[in-house]
Amino acid sequence: MAMKPEEILQAIHAARGGAICIPTMTTSPAWRTIAPDDLSVGCVGFMGGASSLGLGLALANPDRRVVIFDGDGSLLMQLGSLATIAGARPRNLTHLLFKNGVYHTSGSQVTPGGLTVDFVQMARGAGYRNAYAVRDFEDFKKRLPAVLSEEGPLFVELHTGLAEKTPMTDRGGKPFHEQVDTLRRRLLTAAGGAA
């Protein structure tokens, strides 16, 4: 049975410590409920950008874990980012792919190739330090400490069902520029500067 995205996000929230998280598309509504007002920035209004946003944050914050909550439709829009991330070799980056085989937000149209696309092989081929798939929530929970600490770049393909909400059914949340500003000020405070 496919994992529930909300359960995965709850487990990550409980274990993440000071990790920066980058939700996109259908993980966004659930994440802002589970982890409101914290070290997160959503990829809103530029589908496909979560992986690159995560890379920039990881390079700028080498002492802090950065976790991307990507989608399969989203990653397909910026597939070259796998090679860019692998080339930059951020040791603190975890790239999670919530794979459901559809563009859930726009009406669940099947993504190119659907569930047959093997993103693990793509990440390995691009040069990620490690890449594997997880299909079972108990297995995910066992692996979670390593997911959040293993030397990156790490890619994990999570076989999930559909989220309960999408950015179209739940349009709340701060505008992107407010999220950017908030996260930058928090990182500056953590760096010892005035926010």
Partner 1 sequence: MPESIPAPLIIDVLKDTFREARAALAQEGWRQKGDHLGTILSVPDTHQKSVLAALDKEQAIRVITCATEDEAATINAGLWMGGEPVVLMIQHAGLYASINTLRGVAMDGKVPTFYMIGLLSREKDKDPKDSRHSMVRFAEPLLDTFGVPHARMEGPDDVHLIPEYYRLAQQRKGPAAVLVGLETA
Is residue 168 a contact point for partner 1 (CB under 8 A)? no
Buried b / exposed e across 114-140, counting CB within 10 Å, b at 16+? eeebebbebbbebebbbbebbeebeeb
- Write each residue from 115 to 154 as x if it is in contact with partner 1 (CB under 8 A), else as -, in one continuous string: ----------------------------------------
Torsion of CA 73, 98, 102, 36, to 10 degrees: -90
Find the part of the chain contacting partner 1 (CB under 8 A) among 27-35, 129-137, 160-168, 184-192. 184-192
Is residue 183 a contact point for partner 1 (CB under 8 A)? yes
Return the SS3 of 194. Answer: coil
- Write each residue from 31 to 70 as x if it is in contact with partner 1 (CB under 8 A), else as -, in one continuous string: ----------x---xx-xx--xxxxxxxxxxxx-------
Structure tokens at 98: 């919530």
For helices 119-126 and 81-88, give the axis angle rounded to 10 degrees: 40
Report the interface residues with partner 1, using CB under 8 A: 41, 45-46, 48-49, 52-63, 78, 80-81, 83-84, 87-88, 175-177, 180-181, 183-184, 187-188, 191-194
